[in-house]
Amino acid sequence: MQLAIERVTKHYGRKSWALRDFSFRLDPGVVGLLGPNGAGKSTLMRILATVSTPTEGRVTWNGVDISARPEAVRSILGYLPQDFGVYPHLTPVEFLGYLAAAKGLPLARTRQRVDALLDLVNLSEVRDQPVGGFSGGMRQRVGIAQALLNDPQLLIVDEPTAGLDPEERIRFRDLLTTLSGERIVLLSTHIVSDVEAVAASIALIAGGQLIRHGTPESLLRDLDGRVWEMIVTSDQVEATRGRWLVTGTVRRSDGVHVRIVSSEPPSRDSRPLPPTLEDVYLESIGAHREAARA
């Protein structure tokens, strides 16, 4: 199975561009789409879910254009949008049963499927309680359950951990890893740690454009020898930010330990550090912005 995005452009009016000449191929496994807010991630998700259509270019599922034949992907699609709404007075069993009927699932299979999904997302004990009283993380688990009702080959989740507490975020990431298997899971987020924890490949997006794509290991290798730690005083931090790309600071008893991305050592006493995906992300986004300004 393969989802191919071929030179997709989406604009609203003459000057409002959401995506520009975006090309990308997705194979089975978890793919992380990582970018800042407003980068075009949600627009791309809506196009892949056939909620919207591209202005130019096309998206194909196993070679079939999904704009011309949306049913080709809708039947195998599971989608958890960023703003997932629930009927607060329904229980998870009632809510999932309603959506299963809307998706055309056979009634004979629905109860068994709902039971299995509630067990998978760890909501069996609250199956008969109104969803309106659930926490944000519990509602997100209801959301992922509805996205899995038809056992999709393509699962799209858009900013699924936004607003969740750390424990719920970790639980949700573990669930996505469990679900990957023989399906394509596209995780769209601006949270680097979410992608780092689960993605087999990562696509970086900024300004509606694909700026980097590769495995986590290959992206990290590209930054080998370019990450440094330098110790400065508190009153030198701002000047340091003005000279180099600073990706992190930690205050300790001997001063402020500043993490810097630079092709050359920033000082004689700086020491090299292994790169992280957050370094890769901030360096890539910063380079894209500099190129755009130029």
Q: Give the pLDDT of residue 37.
A: 85
- Output the domain CATH number for residue 94: 3.40.50.300
- Give the pLDDT of residue 160: 81
Q: Are residues 90 and 204 in the same domain?
A: yes
Cβ 33 vs Cβ 213: under 8 Å: no
Looking at the fold, whether 212 and 259 belong to one and the same domain comes out as: no
Contacts of 36 (CB under 8 A, 6+ apart): 190, 206, 285
- What per-residue confidence (pLDDT) applies to 249? 96
Q: What is the pTM of this model?
A: 0.87
Output the pLDDT for position 293: 79
Phi, psi dihedrals of residue 204, rounded to the nearest 5°: -100, 130
Looking at the structure, tell me whether residues 283 and 165 fall in a common domain.
no
- Asked whether the beta carbons of 188 and 41 are under 8 A apart, the reply is yes
- What is the pLDDT averaged over residues 259-286? 95
Residue 155 has pLDDT above 90, yes or no: yes
Confidence of residue 252 (pLDDT cuts 50, 70, 90): very high
Are residues 69 and 215 located together in one domain of the fold?
yes
* 228 shares a domain with 193: no
Q: How many helices (H) and strands (E) does the chain have?
A: 10, 14
Instruction: Give me the chain's average pLDDT, please.
Output: 90
Q: Residue 55: which pLDDT band, with cuts at 50, 70 and 90?
A: very high
How far apart, in whole angstroms, are the C-alpha atoms of residue 137 and residue 90? 17
Mean pLDDT along residues 201-222: 94
At residue 62, the 3 state secondary structure works out as coil
Helices within the chain (DSSP H only)? 41-48, 71-74, 92-102, 107-120, 136-147, 166-180, 192-198, 216-221, 237-243, 277-293
Q: Domain total for the chain?
A: 2
188 and 243 fall within a common domain: no
Helix (H) or strand (E) holding 206: strand 201-206
**Residue 269 structure tokens:** 């006493």
Q: Do 171 and 261 share a domain, yes or no? A: no
Q: Which of 48, 36, 53, 82 is nearest to 204 (CA)?
A: 36
In which domain, by residue range, is 70 found?
Answer: 3-220
68-114 pLDDT, tens per residue? 999 888 889 999 887 777 788 999 999 999 999 888 888 878 889 99
| pLDDT tier for residue 123 given thresholds of 50, 70 and 90 | very high
